[in-house]
Amino acid sequence: MRRINSARFTVATRGTSREINRSILLNLVRARQPISRADLARAMGVRRGSITLIVNDLLREGLIVEGASGQAARGRKPTFLYIDSRRRAIAAVDIRPSQTFVMLTDKLGKPLTGVVGMPTERDPRKLARVVARRITALLAEHSEIEACDGIGVVVPGMVERSSMTVLHAPTLGWRNISLGAPIAAASGLPVVVESAGRACALAQAWAMRDDAAIASGDIVYVSVSDGVGVGVTVHGELLRGRHNIAGEFGHVPLSIDGPRCSCGANGCWEAYISNRATLARYFGQPMEALGPRRTDQREFTINDLLARARAGDQKAAAALQATARYLGLGLASVVNALDPVRVYIGGEITAAWDLIEPTVRAALAERALMPAVAETDIRPVPTSEYPRLQGAAALVAAPPFAAPVVA
């Protein structure tokens, strides 16, 4: 028998709760679909009657559907079960300082629509209304989608979970902004808000659930954009800490008297490796000076800088390599602290990964506590995979699959 996530999803038997069996069953359907009730009972080692009870619940909640009857060697033909990924959608929202992006995905996070972009309204109530309208319009355009299960929203900042309040998003200039409630009110849908780095880590851990080595290990996601967001998963679960800020390595200092960071402190990792930091280095100016200045500078983006570096512009290449070195030095702190099985890097800078990887690796090796740690698997996640929107979708999609660890 094929083992599914054996390291994490220990098959539950007598004495384990129905809630755990339910998560195990959902993950089995996801990994092996289409699958019959009889095969589920065999795979889980529990009685058919127990399977029927759980399946009935999941059918009623719309998490799984019954499909075409299959072929059996003899006897009654089984009806196969699937994750309902066709008619039910999740709305994914990525709020960034300049633009906000919206996409509909299926229940497993696969895109159902293209990505719609719009300018980011700094007034959160206005932004909530615009986002809700856009989601409603997308759902209307796709009449094959019968229901939307919720809206996942990622923001470049820290979030208080119970109230879905953005505590601090420096690049947006937001402090203590209630965001979940106005979007829920405007859309009539449940809303989950989370920091981008944390949501991206969740999405990667969730996508790797069928890989036992990853699912049982810890992963780190470093999102490099206007700011720097970091998410950490431990045994496939997000590390949150008491106040949901655990793993904010973006604001761990590389140097106590370094450049001013968006959080107000000096020398944070973010102040060395964010896109704004790289651009500031290129222009030979402090980051604060990169506000609305000369038009040619304001419209010059990190993508332009990467293109120039690739084309042989020495100044652009030097700015980029400095970022690569600081990225590696900060990564050394991350791997020394957490010793993860894999580190994902997201953001525009991944388009230049071939140019920066040797520098990142060298800096990491310089500070890693042991050679094996310096060899930590580092994977760039291309922007074409929309990792932040995948992260937003995972906020809604992943929780039903999250089984508590069965000791």
Nearer to Zn ion, 251 or 361 (CB): 251
CA angle in degrees (0–180, nearest 5) for 237-243-244: 35
Nearer to Zn ion, 200 or 268 (CB): 268
Q: In the range 6-35, which residues lie near Zn ion by CB under 5 A?
A: none
Q: Smallest distance from the beta carbon of 265 to Zn ion, in angstroms?
A: 5
Nearer to Zn ion, 88 or 276 (CB): 276
Q: In the range 157-196, which residues lie near Zn ion by CB under 5 A?
A: none
Q: Smallest distance from the beta carbon of 274 to Zn ion, in angstroms?
A: 10
266: exposed, middle or buried (Cβ count in 10 Å: 0-12, 13-18, 19+): middle
Nearer to Zn ion, 136 or 266 (CB): 266
How many residues contact Zn ion, by CB under 5 A?
Answer: 5
Nearer to Zn ion, 261 or 394 (CB): 261
Helix (H) or strand (E) holding 184: helix 180-187
Nearer to Zn ion, 24 or 261 (CB): 261
Q: Smallest distance from the beta carbon of 319 to Zn ion, in angstroms?
A: 20
Give yes or no for residue 317 binding Zn ion (CB under 5 A). Answer: no
Strand 219-224, strand 342-346: pairing: parallel
Q: Smallest distance from the beta carbon of 230 to Zn ion, in angstroms?
A: 12
Q: Smallest distance from the beta carbon of 251 to Zn ion, in angstroms?
A: 4
Q: 102, 92 in Cβ contact below 8 A? A: yes
Q: Smallest distance from the beta carbon of 273 to Zn ion, in angstroms?
A: 11
Q: Smallest distance from the beta carbon of 261 to Zn ion, in angstroms?
A: 3
Q: 83, 73 in Cβ contact below 8 A? A: no
Q: Smallest distance from the beta carbon of 96 to Zn ion, in angstroms?
A: 18
Give me the residues paired with residue 159 across strands. Answer: 166
The binding track of 235-274 with respect to Zn ion, each residue x by CB under 5 A or -, is: ----------------x---------x-x-x--x------
Nearer to Zn ion, 222 or 268 (CB): 268
288: exposed, middle or buried (Cβ count in 10 Å: 0-12, 13-18, 19+): exposed
Of 133, 127, 242, give the one whose Cα is nearest residue 178: 127
Nearer to Zn ion, 93 or 261 (CB): 261
DSSP letter at 404?
P
Q: 67, 79 in Cβ contact below 8 A? A: yes
Cβ neighbours of residue 162 closer than 8 Å, sequence gap 6 or more: none
Separation in Å, CA 295 to CA 62, 155, 160, 227, 330: 52, 27, 37, 22, 32
CA angle in degrees (0–180, nearest 5) for 228-211-400: 75
Residues that bind Zn ion (CB under 5 A): 251, 261, 263, 265, 268
